[in-house]
Amino acid sequence: MNDKFFDLKKDKQDRMINAALKVFAQNGYRHASTDDIVREASISKGLLFHYFGSKLGTYTFMYEYSVRYMTLELKTAVDVKETDPFEILKQVEQARLQVMKGYPYMQQFLTRAVSEDVGEALAAVAKLKEDFAETNAKIRARMDFSGLPSGVDGDCLIQMLEFTRQGLENESVRMASPRPDTLYREIIYRIDMLRTLTLRQ
């Protein structure tokens, strides 16, 4: 991580981080512009390059920061002894809620990064991407689908909820002022609804 960046005041750090996350999340690495980042953060391009060196350096820092921050929140929110898939999903959403309160575009940035196709960006974060995928895989592996009715595929169920969550998240961040608590309630409502419908069979 960039130690000198963390010497800045926290509000300035967050302003720069949120600006970069927003631009990369909305445009992807290829079409993201450092001009847009500095405009969003209300800083000079010289200051951005002083701390991150380049567009690639900015992207790499943001990805590492996001993975570390999100991983910490997941470890805090998700009970390692929980096996109920619906409860685990709700705990994951609790972690995402906490993240979104400080960094509204972080989850969308991480989601967008999964489908990133620019070679230099992929290479720069390859190891971090593997580590984060492993963190999520370990959470997924604890889900016990044995209580689901016959014919209900647990993996398909989770995938369906993930697509729904991403749609709600995309709708939320398109708003001028994303509302994490509203998004959280909408996602939890759908998790509970699907649990009720599934277990009613």
pTM value is: 0.90
Predicted confidence at residue 1, as pLDDT, reads 66
Asked if residue 197 lies in contact with residue 148, where contact means CB atoms within 8 angstroms, the answer is no
Predicted confidence at residue 187, as pLDDT, reads 94
Give the list of residues 6+ apart from residue 132 with CB closer than 8 angstroms, or none: 67, 70, 71, 110
Predicted confidence at residue 132, as pLDDT, reads 94
Predicted confidence at residue 4, as pLDDT, reads 86
Q: Structural domain tally of the chain?
A: 1
Predicted confidence at residue 80, as pLDDT, reads 94
Ranges in the chain, pLDDT < 50: none
Burial class (CB in 10 A: 0-12, 13-18, 19+), 178: middle
Predicted confidence at residue 199, as pLDDT, reads 74
- Domain extent, residue 33, equals 3-199
- CATH code, domain carrying 93: 1.10.357.10
Predicted confidence at residue 200, as pLDDT, reads 67
Predicted confidence at residue 197, as pLDDT, reads 87
Predicted confidence at residue 153, as pLDDT, reads 92
Give the list of residues 6+ apart from residue 152 with CB closer than 8 angstroms, or none: 198, 201
Q: What does the alpha-carbon distance between residue 33 and residue 49 come to, in Å, rounded to a whole number?
A: 13
